[in-house]
Structure 1
Amino acid sequence: MTTATWFILIGLLLLIVGFTFSYIKSVPATSAIIYLSVGFIVGPMGFELFHFNPFQESALLELLTEIAVLISLYCAGVKMPAPVSMKRWRTPLQLATFSMVLTVGLVTLFGYYGLALPLGAAVLLGAVVAPTDPVLATEVQVRHADDPDELRFSLTCEAGMNDGSAFPFVMLGLGLLGLHDLGDAGWRWLAVDVFWASGTGIGIGILAGSGVGWLVTKIRTSYANTAFLESFLGLGLIAFAYGISLLVNAWGFLAVFCAAVALRHTELKLAGLMQGYSTAVEARREGEPQAHVHVSESSLAFNEHLERLAEIVLVLLLGGSIFWDSWSWRAVGFAAFLFFIARPISVHLGVLGSRAPKRMRNLMGWFGVRGIGSLYYLMYAIQHGLPEEIALELIHLTLVVIALSILVHGISVKPTIKRYWRSRKPRI
């Protein structure tokens, strides 16, 4: 495809989505299915107008997916309710740690014994597909900070955290393949990749988000007529927190998510509006002389549009990367194992002791959407020297998993969530 053809294709997709936005919201499917279908039609499975090769274009795809995940993590973070309390965050914390570790372990066993992969490659595959996705899981994300649904909150918060907590297992897989220094008996991996990188990333995010929130509030209260470009402040916070994390070898995904959570928390706290979004809006309507929650709210809309644009491009490329023979029993069987065995088992075991009811645990076990984050981790591994034979095998498995996740989760999410909400309404 020529440059002109690409512009025409992307432009048509944007126009179609723009004109049919209300209709897409009403049909029992997600917009990602449309983008994937277009990719199938114009790619190797259809008219063969283009073929995107993830292995040859791994550097470009790593950059694109990295940006998409960062923007999505920020959007998820600023929608988290404040104040942050262990009572409410316990379930997603267990999902992002215990459940994710269990998923990595189960996939490793399946990859090593069922797919005959080397141990390092099996661990890497587990790390790639274990994180749930904040980009493609729009329908199961919280709508705003006052969204009362615990299911959406838990899934959104899990996706925000496990995109960072999976990184140590990516490095473990690379280390077992001889591509990363794990240290004697794994001490360096445990000390640096697990404790230092995770803890420092969280700390950087909290400090950066709190600092920006405090500075904006301080300037607004001192100089009432000061105007800001809130969308730039949001993007600047993403880049700053992520850059500092990379500089000190911390996990930047965790930093960005925590920075977004801390930004909103700080703005609400300093404004005296800790009860949430609706309280802040009402206070502004009444003209109370308080600091306002501007950055987290104003930058969210802008970043959500960037997130949607990234989704269109990346899912289109995904569809153009898959051939008819990609749908092997090996890949489809692995996806079925992940969706129907590994994810449900890891969720039910991982949230033991939490207050999540059984019906909610069942739905969390199903809606483990895989997507752009998995692509990023795989491209990251390829760029760090993953052997071509292993890389091609993991690309094959991962692309099919993501495509099937878009299809099966995308078709089931709206009717399932609708039935879930209907069952929670009191019967008269």
Structure 2
Amino acid sequence: MSMTYWILFAGVLLIGMALAGTLLERLPLSGAMIYLGIGFLLGPALADLLAPDPFRFAAGLELLAQGALLISLFAVGIKLEVPLRDRRWAAPLRLAFVSMAITVALIAALGVFGLGLPLGAAVLLGGILAPTDPVLASGVQPEAGGAPDPVRFSLAGEGALNDGSAFPFVLLGLGLMGEHELGRFGWHWLAVDVAWALLGGMLIGALTCILIGSLVVFLRTHHDEALGLNEFVSLGTIAVCFGLAQLCHASGFLAVFAAGLALRRMPGGVRLASFRIWPPLAAQRHEATGATMQRKIQAFIEQMEKLAEPVLVIVTGAMLPFMDMVPGLWWFTAVLLVAVRPVAVFIGLGHAAVSLRRSSLIAWFGIRGIGSMYYLMYALNHGVSEMLAQQLVAFTLAAVTTSILLHGITASPLMRWYARDDMGRSPR
């Protein structure tokens, strides 16, 4: 199909989804389900207009998934306005680290004892399938504001954090297969791939965003320079934070998420006005300029997120014909979504102040998506055997596809029930 037809198709798709947005909110459907179906129709199974073979084009698909993931992480970070010292962060932190580790362990156990995989391959499979992704179910995305719904906030915070916390397990799996240096007794993995990657990534991202934001606001306020082009500032911040973190062997994903959190909390840049360095009028202008920049960046990056989602999900749908029916595929997918996720969530949340009703919703909405696709392509590009590659592709595509369908169908009805139930309980 010529470029002209592709451009026409893209235009029709974008306008159609814009017109159908309100209708989708009333139906048990999500945009991701529509994109997945379109991708399948365009793929080798039917029209054969799009053939993203994961075994041939893993490098390009890795870059595509990485770009979509970075935009998503920055967008989620900007949305989460809850103060960092607030107790409400306890639930997403437990989910992203404790439940994440439990999920990897359970998947690895299923891989070894149920699928007959070697330990390294089973751990690698766990690292690929453990991350969750709230972006692909619009019905459970968080609202902007300082008092978000606890379920939506927990899912969004978990989805952003565990895209970084899963990477050490991917590296551990590769290391157990001899494709990554773990160090003697695993010291390199623990010190660099876990401790430094997580803490260093958050620190680098936050500090870099503060410096960039402060410089831009200062130039705009005091010199009338660096005006406009907030789109360049937002994409540049994502790229610089990710690049610096990766060069320092820290987590680029957590760096970008931390940058979004930092930007949300510094609408006036570094608050030098509180130290009376500037006169009050200049300080007020500084704050107003920073707040305006933050709002415009948030609006732009949310639009980018909405554009990145259909591209990746359409590619995923077109990739489905490359999925082999490997032994244990469907029982493993079912156990992953209906057993592994709930067990990991309930154990991970432990004594956190989360009601059974809310923790049950959180346990159900363990949506697999962009993060799993990225880690799959990363593994394919780092020395796994052909047989293992076929298994990883099959298990990942089955999990992501099933998750998009099941969670897309149930998101709107369950969240409406949850909202009505909350309203009924509020007077008491």
Give the TM-score normalised by structure 2. 0.91
**Matched position secondary structure for 2:266:** helix
Return the alpha-carbon distance in structure 2 between the equivalents of residues 17 and 127 of structure 1: 33
Residues 213-234 of structure 1: per-residue CA shift (max 9 Å, x gap)? 3334434543578733222211
1:322 matched to which residue of 2?
Answer: 320
**Matched position secondary structure for 1:355:** coil
2:210/2:270 contact within 8 Å kept: no
2:132/2:158 contact within 8 Å kept: yes
> Judging changes above 3 Å, is the alpha-carbon distance between structure 1 residues 365 and 417 closer, same or farther for their aligned structure 2 residues?
same
1:183 matched to which residue of 2?
Answer: 183
1:38 matched to which residue of 2?
Answer: 38
Which 10-residue stretch deviates more, 350-359 or 290-299? 290-299
> Judging changes above 3 Å, is the alpha-carbon distance between structure 1 residues 87 and 268 closer, same or farther for their aligned structure 2 residues?
farther
Gap regions ≥5 residues in structure 2: 273-283
2:14 matched to which residue of 1?
Answer: 14
1:96/1:159 contact within 8 Å kept: yes
Return the alpha-carbon distance in structure 2 between the equivalents of residues 315 and 300 of structure 1: 23
Q: Please state how far the C-alpha of 1:305 moved relative to its aligned partner.
A: 2.0
Which 10-residue stretch deviates more, 163-172 or 228-237? 228-237
1:414 matched to which residue of 2?
Answer: 412
**Matched position secondary structure for 2:148:** coil
Counterpart code for 2:196: W
Q: Within the alignment, does 1:128 sit opposite 2:144 as a pair?
A: no
* Identity level (%): 43
> Judging changes above 3 Å, is the alpha-carbon distance between structure 1 residues 324 and 270 closer, same or farther for their aligned structure 2 residues?
closer
Which 10-residue stretch deviates more, 143-152 or 181-190? 143-152
2:96/2:165 contact within 8 Å kept: yes
1:234/1:296 contact within 8 Å kept: no
2:152 matched to which residue of 1?
Answer: 152
2:132/2:162 contact within 8 Å kept: yes
Q: Please state how far the C-alpha of 1:122 moved relative to its aligned partner.
A: 0.6
Counterpart code for 1:163: D
Residues 100-119 of structure 1: per-residue CA shift (max 9 Å, x gap)? 00000000000111111111
2:164 matched to which residue of 1?
Answer: 164
Give the TM-score normalised by structure 1. 0.91
1:141 matched to which residue of 2?
Answer: 141
> Judging changes above 3 Å, is the alpha-carbon distance between structure 1 residues 270 and 191 closer, same or farther for their aligned structure 2 residues?
closer
Return the alpha-carbon distance in structure 1 between the equivalents of residues 384 and 5 of structure 2: 33
Counterpart code for 1:408: L
Residues 342-382 of structure 1: per-residue CA shift (max 9 Å, x gap)? 10000000011211111110000000110011010111111
Return the alpha-carbon distance in structure 2 between the equivalents of residues 269 and 214 of structure 1: 4
**Which of 334, 348, 361 matches 2:332?**
334
Return the alpha-carbon distance in structure 1 between the equivalents of residues 216 and 28 of structure 2: 42
Return the alpha-carbon distance in structure 2 between the equivalents of residues 206 and 267 of structure 1: 14
Return the alpha-carbon distance in structure 2 between the equivalents of residues 295 and 105 of structure 1: 43
1:72/1:134 contact within 8 Å kept: no
Residues 286-326 of structure 1: per-residue CA shift (max 9 Å, x gap)? xx766131333211222222222221121111111113975
1:306 matched to which residue of 2?
Answer: 304
> Judging changes above 3 Å, is the alpha-carbon distance between structure 1 residues 369 and 322 closer, same or farther for their aligned structure 2 residues?
same
Counterpart code for 2:336: L
Residues 153-194 of structure 1: per-residue CA shift (max 9 Å, x gap)? 111111111100111001000001110011111111111111
1:198/1:250 contact within 8 Å kept: yes
2:68 matched to which residue of 1?
Answer: 68
Which 10-residue stretch deviates more, 79-88 or 333-342? 79-88
1:367/1:409 contact within 8 Å kept: yes
Return the alpha-carbon distance in structure 1 between the equivalents of residues 387 and 11 of structure 2: 36
Return the alpha-carbon distance in structure 2 between the equivalents of residues 229 and 25 of structure 1: 33
Return the alpha-carbon distance in structure 2 between the equivalents of residues 39 and 73 of structure 1: 24
Return the alpha-carbon distance in structure 1 between the equivalents of residues 315 and 178 of structure 2: 31
Q: RMSD of aligned C-alpha atoms?
A: 2.3
2:320/2:397 contact within 8 Å kept: yes
1:230 matched to which residue of 2?
Answer: 230
The number of residues matched between the two structures is: 414
2:59/2:381 contact within 8 Å kept: yes
Gap regions ≥5 residues in structure 1: 273-287
1:282 matched to which residue of 2?
Answer: none
2:362 matched to which residue of 1?
Answer: 364
2:54 matched to which residue of 1?
Answer: 54
Counterpart code for 2:110: F
> Judging changes above 3 Å, is the alpha-carbon distance between structure 1 residues 271 and 412 closer, same or farther for their aligned structure 2 residues?
farther
Return the alpha-carbon distance in structure 2 between the equivalents of residues 76 and 194 of structure 1: 23
Return the alpha-carbon distance in structure 2 between the equivalents of residues 15 and 264 of structure 1: 31
Q: Please state how far the C-alpha of 1:19 moved relative to its aligned partner.
A: 2.5
Which 10-residue stretch deviates more, 111-120 or 49-58? 49-58
